[in-house]
Amino acid sequence: MAVDRTSDRYAAGLQVRKEVLGAEHVDRSLNVGSFAETVQTFVTEMCWGDIWTRDDLDRRTRSLLNLAILTALNRMHEFAVHVRGAVANGCTIEEIKGTLLQTAAYCGAPAALESFRVAERVLKEIGALDD
């Protein structure tokens, strides 16, 4: 069954996904074979087209929530992607740090330590952190 990427929801999701994560990253993510194409379309429509386009939370808040959730789930690849997105959405280093410290209390120190390590690496890579 062919995947339909022509819906308005897909278009809206694709636009937001590229604004938050960067077009280069999104284009790489979408450059998949037919097996994974279905899940990439689902993510673009549902996560980005239905959730990220809502006006009940701003993008900064969604980014910080994602960092906490991805820490709790130990999904470090996606976490690193969303650190970049958080910066693109205007989150400060202190807000990211505060969010990750919050996860130490509720997700456990090992999860928070790993997220701090990954976030520091990513923030240095993108030039948002000097030391």
Q: pLDDT averaged over the chain? A: 96
pLDDT by residue (tens digit) across 79-119?
Answer: 999 999 999 999 999 999 999 999 999 999 999 999 999 99
Sign of CA dihedral 46, 48, 53, 58: positive
pTM for the model: 0.92
Outline which parts of the chain fall under CATH 1.20.1290.10.
59-125
- pLDDT band for position 131 (50/70/90)? confident
Chosen CATH of 59-125 out of 3.30.70.360, 3.40.720.10, 1.20.1290.10, 1.20.140.10: 1.20.1290.10
Of 107, 87, 109, nearest to 96 by C-alpha is 87
- pLDDT reading at 57 higher than 90: yes
In the prediction, which pLDDT does 1 show? 53
Who's near 26: CB < 8 A, 6+ residues apart? 14, 17, 18
